[in-house]
């Protein structure tokens, strides 16, 4: 009886999950799809002038789209090298006692609310502004650094688990043929665990693209335009969705929030696709190299 109940419960749970996601996405598309027009993105600015940065967009969400894209790329650029390197250290070099200490630390870091990370970034900005860099204010750089701290535990854990889950035969083959430990890691273990590592990167991309609490305290504003540098304030789609849904004055403004939600989902899907293509390309290259 129990053997039949467990698969049935698993299927039911899966169907509930798929149904919930379908309802949420379907609701967003029903509400927001009619609002996705060039005027929502570019406002009254000609699209070509906006894309070439000839004219500023004040009444569209193009600056928020650009700001979100810059924010994700900057955050991932900071977090991925450190996260993967730390995961490799945890899986291949750390002693058991050191691994337990760091594992506890990373688990605590993963459980910290994002608003606390945002407050840390804001406090760091005030400290640097007061003592070292009087021209530094909340900006894209501080937001990118704060988000990279937020997603580091996911990158470290997925890299560590991906490496530690490799079979013993795979781990020892290159060593038995005379390869050094570093050569074994670079040419065998990392390529074999690339799928799990990229999964962590994809998870980090989604977290960076959707988080609002961190960026509210570290540089995002409502009308900043396309950021001119990493020291500039910026706009972002999550913050736009937040404030338009809480401070809308007409039903049309609320509907534009639904449209921005669809665009944010599409942007995340695009970034996921890019990460997947990179994974396929690296896997193909490493396969033929090996």
pLDDT of 103-154, one tens digit each?
889 888 888 889 999 999 999 999 988 888 888 888 999 999 999 999 999 8
**Six-digit token string for 151:** 């997603």
For residue 220, list its beta bridge partners. Answer: 234
73-100 pLDDT tens trace: 999 999 999 999 999 999 989 888 888 8
Distance CA 103, CA 127 (A): 29
Q: Which two tokens stand for residue 11?
A: 């299927």
Fold category of 36-289 in CATH = MetI-like fold (1.10.3720)
State percent of the chain over pLDDT 90.
29
* pLDDT of amino acid 9: 83
CB-count burial class (<10 Å; 0-12, 13-18, 19+) for 103: middle
Q: Is the pTM of this model over 0.75?
A: yes
Query: What kind and span of H or E run contains 145?
Result: helix 140-164
Helix extents (H) in 177-290? 181-184, 190-192, 194-210, 213-218, 237-247, 251-289
Domain ranges of the chain: 36-289
């Amino acid at each position: 009886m129990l053997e039949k109940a467990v698969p049935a419960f698993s299927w039911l749970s899966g169907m509930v999950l798929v149904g919930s996601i379908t309802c949420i996405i379907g609701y967003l598309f029903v509400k927001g799809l009619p609002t996705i027009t060039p005027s929502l993105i570019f406002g009254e600015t000609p699209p070509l002038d906006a894309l070439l940065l000839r004219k500023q967009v004040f009444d569209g969400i193009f600056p928020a789209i650009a700001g979100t894209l810059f924010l994700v790329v900057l955050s991932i650029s900071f977090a991925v090298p450190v996260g993967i390197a730390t995961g490799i250290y945890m899986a291949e070099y750390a002693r058991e006692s050191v691994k337990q200490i760091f594992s506890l630390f990373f688990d605590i870091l993963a459980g910290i609310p994002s608003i606390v990370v945002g407050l840390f970034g804001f406090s760091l900005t005030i400290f640097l502004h007061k003592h070292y860099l009087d021209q530094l204010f909340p900006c894209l750089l501080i937001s990118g650094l704060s988000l990279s701290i937020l997603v580091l535990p996911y990158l470290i854990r997925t890299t560590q688990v991906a490496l530690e889950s490799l079979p013993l035969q795979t781990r020892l083959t290159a060593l038995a043929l005379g390869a050094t430990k570093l050569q074994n890691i670079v040419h065998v273990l990392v390529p074999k665990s690339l799928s799990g590592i990229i999964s962590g990167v994809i998870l980090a991309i989604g977290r960076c693209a959707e988080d609002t609490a961190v960026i509210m305290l570290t540089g995002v504003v409502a009308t900043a335009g396309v950021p001119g540098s990493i020291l500039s304030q910026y706009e972002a789609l999550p913050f736009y969705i937040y404030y338009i849904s809480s401070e809308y004055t007409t039903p049309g403004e609320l509907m534009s929030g639904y449209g921005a939600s669809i665009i944010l989902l599409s942007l995340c899907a695009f970034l996921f696709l890019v990460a997947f293509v990179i994974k396929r390309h690296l896997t193909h290259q490493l396969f033929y190299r090996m």
